[in-house]
Amino acid sequence: MGMFGNLFKSKKEIKEASYMNQRRNILGNGSNFQVQEAYKALRTNIRFSSSGNKFCVTSGLASEGKSITVLNIAISFAEAGQKVLLIDADLRRPSQARLLIENGAPGLSNVLAGLCDDETAIRKEQMNNLDVMFSGEIPPNPSELLSSPAMEDMLKRLESKYDYIFIDTPPVNIVTDACVVGRLMDGVLFVVRQNQTDRESVKHGVAQLNMAGVKILGFVFNGADVKNNRKYKRYKYYKSKIYGYQSYRHGVDERGRGSVDKK
């Protein structure tokens, strides 16, 4: 039925279904090997490109996979034994609570408004080594809250308690929140989605961040095609690469054959 199923569902159902779809992308034991390796490589690059421990993640526009990416980065660091805090600072369209199927309140907005303390807002051990602070109730003044001294103070308090802090921020081309939060960070990761993000959006976003004096750590290229997908403009033959790649997996022979693939 595919796309036509949409006609008969309510808007709410469609949204929920799309979240369900996205949840399958959350890093875990069932994840594709190459995806896991990709996040590990990203993790290594982040560690080596900065000596800091506070990073936020943004993108140009919405629906570019930013929330999943920051969640997976946090999970990846947590899996490496780091004590990680993930904060959902998208106070306009918070996604982390929906993705993790949790109640989003109380959370960041409550803390920033002085209505609750850190401990109440943080969900401990959401996963191994990973604590999460959701967005809290959606406030009427998100930019003001994020640029208030309360944000800076909260970060100072939490900095010492965690090895790494990752923050999910709204798209930089839509609102200025990412720039506001970025100034307090050791670096910003810019998520870009293949076949969706256009160059002007990227250029504009980077310009915005530069103007705000934010340190851009680098791009995260999301949805990269690995196999020779005909949509990919360079018609490259990736099969041999995959064979070599797969041979490093546990339980797989050097031709890339093995039973660990199918899960």
Partner 1 sequence: MNQMKELDIRELLMACVYRAWLIVLCAVVGAFAAFLYTDNFVTPMYRAEVSFYVNNSSSDSGPNHSISSSDLATSQRLVLTYVNIIKSETVLDQVVMKSGLDVTVPQLRSSMTAASIDETELFKVYVTHADAQTAADWANAIADYAPMELEMVMVGSKASVLDRAKIPGAPYTPNTSRNITAGALVGLLLAVAVIIIRTLMDVRIKCEEDLSCVPDVAILGSIPDFTAPAAEPYSFRRNDAETGRR
Residues forming contacts to partner 1 in the complex (CB under 8 A) are: 2-3, 5, 17-18, 20-21, 23-25, 28, 30-32, 34-35, 38-39, 41-42, 45-46, 49, 65, 69, 72, 189-190, 192-200, 202-203, 206, 216-227, 229-235, 262-263
Q: Which is nearer to partner 1, 17 or 115 (CB)?
A: 17
Q: At 200, list the tokens.
A: 């002007």
Widest CA span in the chain: 59
Smallest distance from partner 1 to CB 66, Å: 12
DSSP structure string for 84-150: EEEEE---SS--HHHHTT----SSHHHHHTTSS-HHHHEEEEEETTEEEE---SPPS-HHHHHHSHH
Closer of 25 and 58 to partner 1 (Cβ): 25
CB nearer to partner 1: give 121 or 217.
Answer: 217
CB of 188 to partner 1, least distance (A): 10
Provide the minimum distance between the beta carbon of 122 and partner 1 in the complex, in angstroms, as a whole number.
27
- Tokens 């140009």: give the residue: 60
Residue 125 contacts residue 140 (beta carbons within 8 Å):
no
CB of 87 to partner 1, least distance (A): 20
Which residue number, 47 or 92, has a Cβ lying nearer to partner 1?
Answer: 47
